[in-house]
Amino acid sequence: MRMELGYDGFRYDPNGIGFGHTVVLKAYPVGMVPAMNDVIEDEGESRLEPYVGLEFDSADEAREFYNLYARRVGFKIRTGQLYRSRTNGTVSSRRFVCSKEGFQLNSRTGCPALIKVQRRDSGKWVVDLFLKDHNHELGLAAGESPPPPPLLQKTSLTAKSVVTMPHRPRTKLIEEAEDGRPSPSGIINIKRLKRDGEELQPKVEPFSGLEFNSANEAYQFYQAYAASKGFSIRIGQLFRSKLDGSITSRRFVCSKEGFQHPSRLGCGAFMRIKRQESGRWVVDRLQKGHNHELELQLELHKKSVIASKRLLEEESGGLENEDIFNISNANIVKRSRENHIGSDWYRVLLEYFQTRQAEDTSFFYAVEVDNGSCMSIFWADGRSRFSASQFGDAIILDTSYRKSIYLVPFATFIGINHHKQPVLLACALIADESEEAFTWLFQTWLRAVSGLHPLSIIADQDKAIQHSIKKVFPRTHHRFSLWQLKAKEREYLNLMEGSLRYEYEKCIYQSETVDEFEASWTMLLSRFGLIENAWLKEMYEKRQSWVPAYLRSTFFAGITLNDNVESFFGAFLNAQTQLVEFVSRYERGVERRREEERKEDFNSYNLQVLLQTKEPVEEQCRRLYTLSVFKIFQKELLQSYGYLGFKIYEEGAISRYLVRKGGNDNEKCVVTFSATNLNVSCSCEMFEFEGVLCRHILRVFQILDIREIPSRYILHRWTRNAEYGTLHDFESARSSQELKALMVWSLRETASKYIEAGAASFEKHKLAYEIMREGGRKLCWQR
């Protein structure tokens, strides 16, 4: 492999500070360059160490580079975890780790050394994390032969990780539980490990092949076993199916596993369970040996119950189910609100907040205090607060940290800007998952954005969140997060007959109207004998928060109903981000997104999409919309030519049209039009949901020879001038208090642009000052 060094202007610098010149490394597989001797002789290039900011043309090149580095230093590597985009499923980042990472084999030591590369919009792969130190000796192991020279090795253009599948032991069943009574199903039931609110010590030790009804049962069994032996446990790594994203296996580890905290010693004890096709979970890997002394008795209640409840939420999607796990243990009256935000995070973040406030007078932060202790923390800079005034009508509360056991309970408020990009509105560290914590969070949001209530919010479906939204945002439509819905559907539908899933999804996703859904739902319950099913009853009661037919009439900025929302920070921040890296990674993530927004601003003002028709409405919308939104409109306009329209009703100025696709009687909608005020609506409700007119309405406009779209149907939030804050479509839709808040933020943002431009030089300062003085005179005169 040959490495070529060069400079490529305006890329992210290797120190992660800002933009500048950075070294770009290009790695070529064997055979693509003539002289392989360069690898051995060139001390400058071949001995380059990985560093944050190093670029590659592909992930495979990054792996080959790290592999060469590893050979020289004296260790081996393997391909670690990958992350996929929530938008299109493509691989967005990869980790290449030391071969001794983890504890799945006795030869592994939990080595933390790795590099992680992330794919940029340019297609380049950039190192965004490099951990150099190993926890084992480097060099060739005893009896190991040195690697062959580079010329003799075969280099693959596609990096593949080799997975060694252990021999699967014959599944064993437990015939007797702790009191000697036979288990009718032959499977351990964790409820039988408890009696009168007290923990019983299991007489059965874990072994390969041991089966459980659920992952939660396995966790509680291993927890009880750990308590009897004198150690505590926590929930470790999980693995998901590449097909449907469901959890396929889990690891429960000794609390001293790893080295992320000074109290951890890299203990290798663990129990791994794997989900079977039957829905049961079986122990397929087990390590009992510890590298530390065990204690006689442990208090496990607080940590284990909270962790067990979190494990349950991953399995059930956050809905409470007392049959699976009952937290009303006699020793736990109320879940503690203790956390490490105040002790660990507040000091660092407070210093960051104070620094930001000195630079940005609109920077806002708040701290929840409980009995003198810092609990939750909320913050938003001036740019985010202004974005909330423009794009806070449909918001997403992203608490994806809850999908796994987390170190950082980091949540974000996300909006959709006029380029259809995610935009940061606010951030928070959440103390716990209580109603009090979320109520404080939403109330603080209102203070930060001058009382602007969102029209809609996408958030998890936990009862605490539901109650808090109803209390603080009574007029806001709460839509459930898709990942929780899918998890719950997998849990329940997999236990029922195969044809149910097809009929269920047909009922949910193919019902065009509320009446169609109601009829289809009733038929579904009757056909499969599910009228008394408790889960379906509960979901039906909450149908307005998840069934598409009920959601289409509410504005969600076009956030699709069948896709998870992409994380705003991507690979920059996750639930395991360390405190020392948090602020720098946070700022890099924010800057990357804002740079993407600036690029789209530039493109919208300087580029034009080619017109595909001679319709005046197409030219009108091209002139007003951003590029991204115009492409959506243009697609609808082109599709409208494939539809036929028939007047089916007329009374006075009101008329209705049946619009159907040519040759397809099943695809049809009803458009209602008023000739008096040019009001129009369609049964597909695309405008209500997304804020862009649908193909059906555009077809009726063509029939009626309406050559310009009424201004009320061009939402200002989708136009190129949206960020400048004119208030056309807000005047009638908002209360007087909210309208005043919008005007304040609009003027404040405009003034900040004058200040920023005027501070560039003394001459510009004089010009900006005179402009503002002249504007001030006019305002006073108008009074």
The predicted structure's pLDDT at residue 737 = 62
* Poorest-pLDDT segment among 201-215, 623-637, 661-675: 201-215
Residue 86: pLDDT band with limits 50, 70, 90: low
At residue 782, φ and ψ (nearest 5 deg) are -65, -25
The predicted structure's pLDDT at residue 617 = 96
What torsion do the CA atoms of 211, 217, 219, 221 make, to the nearest 10 degrees? -80
* 3-class secondary structure, 542: coil
411 close to 443: Cβ distance less than 8 angstroms: no
The answer, yes or no, to whether residue 338 has pLDDT greater than 60, is no
Angle at 398 between CA 274 and CA 562, to 5 degrees: 70
The answer, yes or no, to whether residue 496 has pLDDT greater than 80, is no
At 352-388, the pLDDT tens digits run: 999 999 888 889 999 998 877 888 999 999 899 989 9
Residue 221: pLDDT band with limits 50, 70, 90: confident
Other Cβ atoms within 10 Å of 695 Cβ, number: 21
Strand intervals (E) in 455-530 = 456-459, 477-480
* Poorest-pLDDT segment among 209-213, 277-281, 305-309: 305-309
The answer, yes or no, to whether residue 44 has pLDDT greater than 60, is no
Q: For residues 502 and 109, give the distance between their C-alpha atoms in angstroms, rounded to a whole number.
A: 46
The predicted structure's pLDDT at residue 230 = 85
Instruction: Name the residue with tokens 């740019």.
Output: 383
Angle at 7 between CA 6 and CA 11, to 5 degrees: 135
Residue 595: pLDDT band with limits 50, 70, 90: very high
The answer, yes or no, to whether residue 427 has pLDDT greater than 70, is yes
Pure H helices in 615-684: 616-624, 627-640
Which of the listed ranges 142-156, 243-257, 323-337, 690-704 does the model predict with the highest average pLDDT?
690-704
Q: What is the mean pLDDT of residues 745-761?
A: 74
Q: Which two tokens stand for residue 143?
A: 């009896």
The predicted structure's pLDDT at residue 590 = 94
The predicted structure's pLDDT at residue 505 = 87
* Nearest partner of 79 among 158, 153, 160, judged by Cα: 160
The answer, yes or no, to whether residue 611 has pLDDT greater than 90, is yes
**Residue 702: burial class (beta carbons within 10 Å; 0-12, 13-18, 19+):** middle
At 500-551, the pLDDT tens digits run: 888 898 999 889 899 999 999 999 999 888 898 888 999 999 999 999 999 9
Within 13 A of 505's CA, how many CA atoms are on the CB side?
11
418 close to 361: Cβ distance less than 8 angstroms: no
Q: Which residue has the higher pLDDT, 334 or 267?
A: 267
Task: Tell me 202's DSSP state.
Answer: P
Mean pLDDT over the full length of the chain: 76
The predicted structure's pLDDT at residue 245 = 65
The predicted structure's pLDDT at residue 1 = 38
Percent of the chain with pLDDT over 90: 34
Q: What is the mean pLDDT of residues 77-101?
A: 81
Residue 749: pLDDT band with limits 50, 70, 90: low
The predicted structure's pLDDT at residue 103 = 67
The predicted structure's pLDDT at residue 778 = 76
**Residue 393: burial class (beta carbons within 10 Å; 0-12, 13-18, 19+):** buried
Structural Rg of the chain based on CA atoms? 30
**Residue 96: burial class (beta carbons within 10 Å; 0-12, 13-18, 19+):** buried
The predicted structure's pLDDT at residue 497 = 66
The answer, yes or no, to whether residue 38 has pLDDT greater than 60, is no
At 149-183, the pLDDT tens digits run: 433 333 333 333 333 333 333 333 333 333 333 33
What torsion do the CA atoms of 575, 580, 586, 591 make, to the nearest 10 degrees? -150
The predicted structure's pLDDT at residue 553 = 93
Q: Which two tokens stand for residue 304?
A: 């284990």
The predicted structure's pLDDT at residue 339 = 65
Q: For residues 219 and 636, give the distance between their C-alpha atoms in angstroms, rounded to a whole number.
A: 51
Percent of the chain with pLDDT over 70: 72
The predicted structure's pLDDT at residue 167 = 38
HEC string for 353-371: HHHHHHHCCCCEEEEEEEC
Residue 2: pLDDT band with limits 50, 70, 90: very low
Residue 315: pLDDT band with limits 50, 70, 90: very low
